[in-house]
Chains A and B, each alone.
Chain A
Amino acid sequence: MSFAWAKQYEPKNDFTKWIDEKLPLPRLVYNAVGAGYPVPRNLNYMWNFGVLAGFCLMIQIITGVILAMHYAANAEVAFATTEHIMRNVNSGWLMRYAHANGASFFFIVIYLHIFRGFYYSSYKAPREMIWLLGVVIFLLMMATAFMGYVLPWGQMSFWGAKVITGLFGAIPLVGESLQTWLLGGFAPDNAALNRFFSLHFLLPFVIAGVVILHIWALHIPGSSNPTGIEVKKESDTVPFHPYYTAKDGFGLGIFLLAFTFMVFFLPNTLGHPDNYIEANPLSTPALIVPEWYFLPFYAILRAFTSDLTIPFTGIILVPAKLLGVIAMFGSILIWFILPWLDKSPVRSGHYRPMFKKFFWFGLIPCMALLTYCGGAPAEEPYVLLSQIATAYYFLHFLVILPIVSQIEVPKPLPYSITESVLGSDDTAPENSASSDAKGAGEAGSLQPAE
């Protein structure tokens, strides 16, 4: 959005004037991530992850396109060409390790980005559309990452593909035909590998498209901020450039240090050794696990161990597998209605004592437990633990959040972003800092009418 005080792009010389007339791309960049975009001055480092996610997407596309030049999507040779990249292609090992670890880091970044959104309620009005598009991006990322993991055609690639496409087999009536249709056969083979490669190449560009929409939607209301109160005046904001380009530059440096450390010194730590064994349909690995970033959802899938039956009759209403599939997809799909579940007028978790407790002592341990159980074998005590965590997960979003937002008494909000940063605001009305009713009421006015 353009606040009234946003700086205007002014072409300096004849050439930039000519460009501005014909194709105002520099103006677009200036208004999107330049000095023409006023941003709240109080963003903390949790606001770095949007830019970092975009950077990850670029790493993945660049390394991925290079890998695709040397890879062959054919079940006979896919594993061998992957090794060819590792051994014979100049710097091929670097490209592949960067791509594999890049996927992990993309998910680390995106999870921090999403959980920042949870904590600061970035999904609330007027930013629902940004959130919805973000969930779409996340779903596309999951599909892309899953199909990418199949491409090296190792044991985990093959068996992971079998398990995940098997989920569609749980759908009543059409499931099995659907699964066969998706795979192009009865088991993952050449047809599946080829279409996964094709889609794995296509989807990142679809993601890039939705990212553009995500950023476009962001620029309508402007960035949220850690206090959760809206920008009131010019002193609440700073121009994106140079302030946040500098801050993001530093964040990028830290990110790259961590990323390159993993690539050069621990490149296989986040992967599974079994994927260095070529796919063998006749030999099932002892434990089939997805990549670490899917583990929480895998745990939810496996938490449903019994069919839903009518008690004492044995009539099966919903088989366990279908329940698991519904819960797993549901666990992400419920994020789509999140903006309408949380009715608290206060956005930031800082000012929401009850919400904050459920976030730190409920949701975060729950996700950690789900991740842990997802990587463990399907036996006790992991099954019971994953069931408890799954129950909490759904209770948190569907029950606790709506109720807490109804009954919680928020802490007093500062009058303005300026006040929260400087400790005082000359333009604030008398005794505003202690007036919670005013702060809360003011933010509340941005909630949609019901």
Chain B
Amino acid sequence: MSIRLGAIIAGLGIVGILFFWSLLPGAINYAPAEKPDYYAFKEKPVAPEGGFSFEGPFGKWDNAQLQRGYQVYKEVCAACHGLKFVAFRNLSELGYSEAEVQAEAANWIVPGIDPNTGEATTRPGKPTDQFPSPFANDVAAAAANNNAIPPDLSLMTKARKDGTNYVYSLLAGYGEPDPEIAASVSEFETPTGLYFNKYFANVNIAMAPPIAADGQVTYADGTEATVDQMSADVAAFLTWTAEPTLVKRKQTGWPVLGFLLFATILAYLSKKQIWAGLKPKKK
């Protein structure tokens, strides 16, 4: 009996401490948390019209889109953002030939070592090189960007909730605050040097609108380069950089599930047969 009595006393004790010292004062001073003002403007990421080809259980890469997205990255994003986990050789997965990958890699300047003097220098990229970082180090990156370090984009779409749509929405979603909401919220102001974007965590982002106007990039395949199109294309490209094995993963999944379904049905039937003799006969 003593252990149960002890437990009851201990239980009432701990609940008493919780109740009188934490719960009761908390309940008396109860105040639901107030969201900061900017929450009024915030919106969840949206998908571009028609969605993305790689979504859903049967999704596949759209190589033309990935190539366009790569072009946007190269001509726009790469000025500030690195892609350190991706190598030029990986571009062959976007449908580029070996020669094209070689030529593409050579367009980039990567850090190297002078073979004669051993001094640090730069050289054209090779397919085995990773994408170079645009800044020498974080301090240089912060100094050049109003103290905000442009993050590496290799994993961006996995590092945000609903990442692909987030990148698309963020890029296409710059604009002015809704005047109606702004009127209802006192003292809302986007600080100097920041830009309003209703999809960003606190709606004020340090990145100037990178894709500012239609036709900023001239697509090699003739697709019309609207802001919306470029944003969607680069979001697709960054989904590929974040998880190059995404489509392969889904394609591997189907035969595995199919086999397991078959095996599970067999297992069920053999279980049924083995147990058949034990069940009471229905009368």
Contact = CB atoms under 8 A, between A and B. Distances in A.
Interface stretch (B15-23, B41-49, B230-238): B15-23
A220 interface: no
Interface residues of B, number: 57
B201 interface: yes
A69 interface: no
Interface string A330-342: 1000100100110
B14 A246 contact: no
Given A243-B274, A260-B253, A377-B33, A395 B26 contact: no
Contacts of B30: 380-381, 384
Contacts of B14: 327, 330, 394, 398
A435 interface: no
Nearest to B86: A87
A260 B23 contact: no
A258 B249 CA distance: 16
Interface stretch (B190-198, B221-229, B255-263): B255-263
Nearest to A342: B4
A304 B15 CA distance: 10
Contacts of A83: 85, 154-155
Interface in A318-335: 320, 323, 327, 330, 334
Contacts of B245: 86-87, 93
A400 to B, nearest CB: 9
Contacts of B1: 450
A379 B33 contact: yes
A86 B243 contact: yes
A203 B9 CA distance: 36
Contact of A306 (B22, B31, B151): B22
Contacts of A388: 23
B175 interface: no
Nearest to A401: B7
B214 to A, nearest CB: 31
Interface stretch (A56-64, A102-110, A115-123, A270-278): A270-278
Given A380-B30, A391-B18, 12 more contacts: A86-B245, A252-B267, A253-B267, A260-B256, A268-B158, A274-B159, A277-B159, A303-B18, A306-B21, A337-B3, A341-B3, A397-B7
Interface of A: 41, 80, 83, 86-87, 93-94, 97, 238, 242-243, 246-247, 249-250, 252-254, 256-257, 260-261, 263-265, 267-268, 273-274, 276-277, 286, 303-309, 320, 323, 327, 330, 334, 337, 340-341, 343, 377, 379-381, 383-384, 387-388, 390-391, 394-395, 397-399, 402-403, 421-423, 450
Interface of B: 1, 3-4, 7-8, 10-12, 14-15, 17-19, 21-23, 25-27, 30-33, 57, 85, 90, 151, 154-155, 158-161, 163, 201, 242-245, 249-250, 252-253, 256-257, 260-261, 263-264, 267-268, 270-271, 274-275, 278, 280
